[in-house]
A and B are shown apart, each in its own frame.
Chain A
Amino acid sequence: MAQDQAVGVIKPPSMDKIEKRQAWKRRSILLPALIFAILMTQIPFLVTIGYSTFKWNLLKPDDFGFVGFDNYITVFTAGDLWPSIIATVLITTLAVVLSLLIGLFFAILLDRSFRGQALARTLLITPFLIMPAAASLIWKYSMFDTNIGVINWFVTSLGLPPIEWSTDYPLATVVIVLVWQFTPFMMLILLAGLQSQSKEVLEAASVDGAGAWRTFQWITLPHMRMYIEISVLLGTIILLQVFDPIAIMTKGTGGTKTLSYLLYERAFIGLNVGEAAAYGVIAVVLTIVVATLALRTMFKVFLDGGGK
């Protein structure tokens, strides 16, 4: 470092320019990709911000105009925003945590060789391959339905009254479907982590007399930290956008109106483009803030746990 600086001092200024030019030449190769990425991600966002400053209801073509921040004022004063943030955070957190735990359980079960392992793995992955809307419909009719649903068939066979899922337990209804869908996703990532453990270390642990639980706690879990982080991160990002089970089963009642469902209602039932765009912009900002905060606290826990 010090040597470099010393050389830099005696360099003539023209050399600097040449180096800069070369640097730009190298960068210019990357430039098209960069511009493409910026266009693809930022222009729609800028357009959304533009829409959000207009009074624009599709059903009222004559009542159109620039209103500045009026849509944002409506969003913050209408009283829909805060409950939907709570609903989004609650549903996402519950679904991520539960599917992570169940996914870890299945990953551990699958992390050994047994007859029919490939078949078992494929069957376990299937829920994740089903389209979210189809999964919600399957659960609505085949599982939760009070007349023909499997769950209520068991419940009524026991002589109990049927469970009115969407009416009485809307939050649980949505979370159950999401956990069913995302457990395989978590399982796949965690299984990859488990299978990448070095056999030597595990062998050494067993030679040293560590039991199964101690091995898991002190060797497997710290090794898995990275995989758990990545599955929580990806799961959170996907689940923050949850829409299908809400649209199909609960219609936003009982504290299940997430930000994306609220946005859909403003845009496609209210047909209010300006207000929906304002919700969209706020949803982006909140997603960044909430995700960053949640992840920071979570990683602290993991890092402290690992450092013990």
Chain B
Amino acid sequence: MLKRNRLAAISASVAVSALVLAGCSSSDDTATDAATTDAAAETTEEAATGEDVTITVATVNNGNMKDMESLAPIYEAENPGVSINFQVMEEGDLRSAVTADVASGAGQYDVVTIGAYEVPQWGANGWLTDLTPALAEGDYDVEDILPPVREALSVNGQQYAVPFYGESSILMYNKEVMDAAGITISNNPTWDEVATAAKAVNTDDMAGICLRGKPGWGDLFAPLTTVVQTFGGAWYDMDWNAQVNSPEFIEAVTFYKDLLDEAGQPDPVSYSFNECLTALQNGKVAMWYDASVAASMLEADGSPVQGKMGYAHAPVKETAESGWLWSWNLAVPVSTKNQDAAINFVKWATSKDYQQLVGTELGWSLVPPGARISTYSIPEYQEAAAAYAPITLDVMSSVNPVQPGVNPQPWVGIQYVAIPEFQDVGNQVAQLVADAIAGRGTVEEALNKGQEIAQVAGDAQK
């Protein structure tokens, strides 16, 4: 009897705690909704009380954005009655908070920071204000924005966001190590050349090359998709048929896995941008293929490899270029109550004057890169970023987001597929590939499963 009572009590307590658990997931939503409604109410009140306007900017917590936050008081001084309220978040949090806000039309944010992946989709959904007319006004000089970036942010010729900074991917290598081994890396290397060099300099103390292995569509699959494309593969063909287990895709992933096995850093699943950066700075790897923005960190004061690095275009096989294209952009959701003030701020933060302001106030090496062509002709910036500015501009102007691979594709974008399902598809396939990299199953098995996952998403586009 006692036994049964205890059991009943235990199962009851498990049941209750499980219910609370389940409750948590939905109460989160409720909390967000409540916060959203509050903020929306506030915005309306402020707009109604007169000229004083508060612009709420949702942004991502990286250096260039924090610089914008520290320079905002200057904008506030120039525009009396306008105050800027920053909500700085982690990339993942920003993505879900902004998506929830913009998708529901709650209007909590007047300016949102979004990636190149979201802009064309959200623009097509009618969630973002068309900035084309506003950008044509005054001395903003919209033609100065790097053409590939502008292309990636437009839908049918209408521009829905402006780049705050942009990046491509490049090959970075330690010149001292390469010189000691008697290896020269050309300015436009092939993957075969890079693989040979990586294997030649690979020792027990120093890996030949660092490549992202952390599962995630923005981690592992950012560099891996560019490899797939230059090997002639693609996620989808023009009719949205998934191509994940095509021979080219399999060949590219096998190449990536073999390179990691033979000359890559140990424990690849733990490695993404930050881990590779640390490894390269500590002399644990000789080469690294990743975002061009890394160069500014490798050349920063205090970096152990400052001045020792060489930079080259992203390695290729079948295509002429294979660098990716990413930008963090400012956009104005249609749900904002302060559209004019918001657009005005967006134009200020992406203007030529703002670049001068960052240079004079904070230092020339901190000017946001990869957005405007004119940035690269500022003499002070050329001097401060001499090691990596020319190659960044060169790569960013030569990549082609309309057709990055061998065959045409039905979306604009390089290291991602601009459909809502892609972050989910990319994530799941990345986990399968990571299992294959770890030796749990073959690349073919992983990509056959990935093909099924990708086809479901492809069917939704037909």
Give A contacts to B, CB under 8 Å.
Answer: 40-45, 47-48, 51, 57-61, 140, 144-148, 161-162, 164-168, 170, 233, 237, 241, 249-254, 257, 263, 265, 267-273, 276-277, 280-281, 283-284, 287-288, 291-292, 295-296, 299, 303
Contacts and interface: CB of A to CB of B under 8 A. Distances in A.
A251 B214 contact: yes
Contacts of B213: 167
A269 B11 contact: no
A44 B23 CA distance: 5
Given A45-B23, A287-B14, A271 B438 contact: no
A interface secondary structure, majority: helix
Q: How large is the interface on B (under 10, 10 to 19, 20 to 34, 35 or more residues)?
A: 35 or more
Interface string B114-127: 00000001000100
Contacts of B462: none
Interface stretch (B147-155, B324-332, B427-435): B427-435
Contacts of A59: 99, 103, 121, 420
B99 A251 contact: no
B420 A164 contact: no
A41 B99 contact: no
Nearest to A59: B420
A51 B26 CA distance: 9
A252 B431 contact: yes
Given A145-B270, A147-B282, A291-B11, A276 B25 contact: yes
A136 to B, nearest CB: 12
B134 interface: no
B18 A263 contact: no
A61 B103 contact: yes
A296 B3 CA distance: 10
B21 interface: yes
Please provide the 8 A-B residue pairs with the shortest distance between their CB atoms, ordered closest to farther: A44-B23, A59-B420, A164-B267, A270-B424, A167-B269, A287-B18, A251-B215, A146-B266
Contacts of A254: 435, 438, 440
Given A59-B103, A61-B125, A277-B25, A253 B267 contact: no
A44 B10 contact: no
Contacts of A267: 25
B420 A42 contact: no
A156 to B, nearest CB: 9
B269 A253 contact: yes
A271 B196 CA distance: 42
22 contacts: A41-B16, A45-B26, A48-B26, A58-B99, A58-B103, A167-B266, A167-B270, A168-B438, A168-B439, A237-B13, A241-B21, A253-B431, A254-B440, A265-B427, A269-B423, A271-B99, A283-B18, A288-B15, A291-B18, A292-B7, A292-B10, A299-B6
B279 interface: yes
Nearest to B122: A59
A299 B278 CA distance: 50
B266 A291 contact: no
Given A58-B100, A263-B25, A270-B424, 6 more contacts: A45-B23, A253-B269, A270-B423, A277-B25, A283-B22, A292-B11
A264 B144 CA distance: 41
B23 A41 contact: yes
B284 interface: yes
Contacts of B19: 41-42, 45, 284
